Amino acid sequence: MSALIATRPSPAERLADLAVQALIDEADLSPKPGLVDRRGSGAHSDLHLGLMHASAQSLWPAFAAMAEAARIEGRVSQALRETLGQLGRDGEAQMLHVTNGVNTHRGAIWALGLLSAAAMLETGASAGEIATSAAALARLDDPAAPYDPDSHGARVCRRYGVPGAREQAQHGFPAVIEHGLPQLLASRRTGTGEQNARLDALLAIMSQLTDTCVLHRAGLEGLERMQQGARAVLAAGGAASLAGRRQLRLLDRDMLALNASPGGAADLLAATLFLDRLAPAAPAPTGSN
């Protein structure tokens, strides 16, 4: 009789598990303004929750390979940056294969790929230290990366002179370290419940971020509405309060009317949840999914 042998996941596999789980938790979180969630497709005609899940699952090998490459190299280096670039592009190709050409997680591959590699290099480090190491990787040039001057992000960064996904990583993910994570922990401390704490973290990110997805679809008016609307929810008491919920409904309505979806903020919420699970600064959440 053959016995089944349970093998423990390797450190790289564990990081990939956490990255995929963060993407699934982000997709499932509801109600998110303009974004795909359990209620529906938000401002998207080509996305739905099942596709977001399938896309997230398809990225497990890419995240595991990026973390494993970091384990083998052992330090921030040009060679590691170039390997990560190739693995990131392979991950994008896999995502587009699974989604039939729809861009579900490009920004998430970038953010979580860098953070998974950095987490492997900085075992046991704080979220801030991991983000700093990811930033050092992001600042290294990847000569093999085909710079696309026509990507949505590149176009709006040029047009409006704002930082995008690249700069967010190069500066050590300030949206995550200075806004998403502190808000997640602060809302948890008030006992709002895990889902509301995560919504508050998303809103804290939205209130600051120059989200190139929103700029691309809705220009500066859309960006201003996103940031101001997110601030209004938090000022009214956050997602757990009645007044905050009212503001959140208004923000969702306006994002849909503007055809705007904060995909960059969603990716950075996933990065927040990843770092929170990896390097918790507070007791683990109870009752989370």
Ligand X SMILES: CC(C)(COP(=O)(O)OP(=O)(O)OC[C@H]1O[C@@H](n2cnc3c(N)ncnc32)[C@H](O[C@H]2O[C@H](COP(=O)(O)OP(=O)(O)OP(=O)(O)O)[C@@H](O)[C@H]2O)[C@@H]1O)[C@@H](O)C(=O)NCCC(=O)NCCS
36 binds, among ligand X, ligand ADE, none (CB under 5 to 8 A by kind): ligand ADE
* Partner from ligand ADE, ligand X, none binding residue 35, C-beta < 5-8 Å depending on class: ligand ADE
Q: Does 268 participate in binding ligand ADE (rule CB under 6 A)? A: no
262 binds, among ligand ADE, ligand X, none (CB under 5 to 8 A by kind): none
Task: Work out whether 169 is an interface residue with ligand ADE (CB under 6 A).
Answer: no
- Please identify which residue in the block is written with the tokens 């390979």: 65
What is the rounded CA–CA span in Å between residue 38 and residue 169? 29
Q: Is the distance from CB of 132 to CB of 172 less than 8 angstroms?
A: yes
* DSSP SS3 for 170: helix
Beta bridge partners of 40: 37
Among 211, 252, 254, 276, binds ligand X (CB under 6 A): 211
CA distances from 57 to 52, 94, 110, 117, 248 (A): 9, 10, 16, 18, 29
Number of Cβ within 10 Å of residue 4's Cβ equals 4
- Does 27 engage in binding with ligand ADE (CB under 6 A)? yes
Indicate the residue type of 193: G
What is the Cα–Cα distance from 30 to 36, expressed in whole angstroms?
Answer: 9
Residues with Cβ within 8 Å of 4's Cβ and at least 6 positions away in sequence, in order, are none
Work out how close the CB of 203 gets to ligand X at its nearest, in angstroms, rounded to a whole number. 15
Question: Does residue 180 bind ligand ADE (CB under 6 A)?
Answer: no
Closest C-alpha to 202, from 157, 252, 242, 160: 252
Shortest distance in whole angstroms from residue 203 CB to ligand ADE: 14
* 164: its two tokens: 């995008």
Q: Which of 12, 36, 62, 255 binds ligand ADE (CB under 6 A)?
A: 36
Task: Report the site for ligand X in 167-186 (rule: CB under 6 A).
Answer: 168
Please list, in sequence order, all residues whose beta carbon lies within 8 angstroms of the beta carbon of residue 39, skipping any fewer than 6 positions away. 30, 31
Where in 57-96 is the site for ligand X (CB under 6 A)?
A: 84-85, 88-89
CB-nearer residue toward ligand X: 44 or 188:
44
By a kind-dependent CB cut-off of 5 to 8 A, residue 198 interacts, out of ligand ADE, ligand X, none, with none
Nearer to ligand ADE, 110 or 138 (CB): 110
The sign of the torsion formed by the CA atoms of 217, 219, 224, 225 equals: negative
Q: Is residue 110 close enough to count as binding ligand X by CB under 6 A?
A: yes
Q: Which does 231 bind (CB under 5 to 8 A by kind): ligand ADE, ligand X, none?
A: none
Q: Which residues bind ligand X (CB under 6 A)?
A: 44, 84-85, 88-89, 103-110, 113-114, 142, 145, 148, 151-154, 164-166, 168, 209-213, 216-217, 263-264, 267-268
Q: Which residues bind ligand ADE (CB under 6 A)?
A: 26-27, 35-36, 42, 44, 47, 52, 105, 108, 261, 263, 266-267
